[in-house]
């Protein structure tokens, strides 16, 4: 079931969102908008509130204040199950079902949505190809028969299978070795450019944020310190932004240009 986009064309909007836990304010005053085709990177140190913000969007956590709109409609008006099926979610350890094959994992949401079986099978093939996994080789394997990088590819394929307009990613490549991580980052960057989805991607790695993001939202101590375009971020005078730029070392710090994926 596809909904017509809201008049403002936004996929996700947060207005002054806060989350507190036993009187402790974890996230406060967070506002941003993401349109289809945009990738907003939520960049921040560990504990800054990035994961919490992502979980507020798909309602794994309930906001304490403020409002969230999904495709122009207040989040609380959505049936939570339907809402989550409109939002793909990829996390670091993927959360594939270990006793299911790759095919069964990728087909999960389309089958829950009662797609005709022929369409499900075609969709699984398309998704595996999209993420660079050969169907004949991988469809029948169990997650334990895959490398970490292959598992993350399956996680992305599964998140995209029901064609959700919104994709949330929480440090999806964080646990991979540096070479595989760089490969997946480049491929994902290229994929994101083709998919025209609204993507919100959590990272603590500025290099990843610069490569993949159309925008970078800088998180510090539960607040959004600013939203920047990649090149703008590199020249920001904000102290936390400077700290991240300095962490890059000389490569980008000196020439001050953002890496591009193609």
Residues that bind Mg ion (CB under 5 A): 51
48 binds, among ligand ADP, Mg ion, none (CB under 5 to 8 A by kind): ligand ADP
Minimum distance, C-beta of residue 59 to Mg ion, in the bound complex (Å): 17
From CA 198, how far away is CA 240, in angstroms rounded?
26
**Contact indicator for 17, 31 with CB cutoff of 8 Å:** yes
**Contact indicator for 191, 130 with CB cutoff of 8 Å:** yes
Q: Does 237 bind ligand ADP (CB under 6 A)?
A: no
Q: Does 172 bind ligand ADP (CB under 6 A)?
A: no
Minimum distance, C-beta of residue 42 to Mg ion, in the bound complex (Å): 9
Largest CA distance in the chain: 55
Take residue 172 and report the two structure tokens written for it.
């999806």
Minimum distance, C-beta of residue 53 to ligand ADP, in the bound complex (Å): 7
From CA 204, how far away is CA 180, in angstroms rounded?
17
Q: What mask of x and - would describe binding to ligand ADP in positions 23 to 52, judged by CB under 6 A?
A: ---x-----------------x-xxxxxxx
Q: Does 159 bind ligand ADP (CB under 6 A)?
A: no
Q: How far is CA 113 from CA 1, 107, 166, 195, in A?
A: 10, 10, 17, 21
Q: Does 101 bind ligand ADP (CB under 6 A)?
A: no
Which stretches of the chain bind ligand ADP, using CB under 6 A? 21, 26, 44, 46-52
């Amino acid at each position: 079931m596809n909904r017509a986009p809201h008049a403002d064309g936004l996929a996700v909007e947060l207005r002054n969102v806060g989350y507190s836990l036993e009187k402790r304010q974890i996230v406060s005053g967070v506002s941003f908008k993401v349109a289809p085709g945009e990738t907003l990177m939520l960049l921040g140190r560990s504990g800054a509130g990035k994961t919490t913000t992502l979980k507020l969007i798909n309602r794994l956590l309930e906001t304490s204040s403020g409002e969230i709109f999904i495709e122009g409609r207040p989040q609380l008006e959505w049936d939570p199950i339907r809402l989550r099926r409109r939002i793909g979610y990829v996390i670091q350890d993927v959360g594939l079902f270990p006793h299911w094959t790759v095919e069964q994992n990728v087909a999960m949401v389309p089958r829950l949505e009662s797609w005709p079986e022929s369409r499900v099978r075609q969709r699984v093939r398309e998704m595996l190809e999209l993420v660079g996994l050969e169907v004949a080789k991988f469809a029948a394997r169990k997650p334990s028969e895959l490398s970490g990088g292959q598992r993350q590819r399956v996680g992305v394929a599964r998140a995209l299978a029901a064609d959700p307009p919104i994709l949330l990613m929480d440090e999806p490549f964080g646990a991979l070795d540096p070479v595989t991580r760089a490969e997946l980052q480049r491929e994902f960057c290229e994929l994101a450019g083709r998919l025209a989805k609204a993507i919100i991607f959590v990272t603590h790695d500025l290099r990843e944020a610069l490569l993949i993001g159309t925008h970078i939202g800088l998180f510090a101590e539960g607040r959004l310190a600013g939203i920047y375009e990649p090149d703008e971020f590199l020249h920001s005078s904000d102290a936390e932004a400077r700290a991240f730029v300095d962490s890059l070392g000389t490569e980008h710090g000196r020439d001050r240009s953002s890496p591009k994926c193609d």
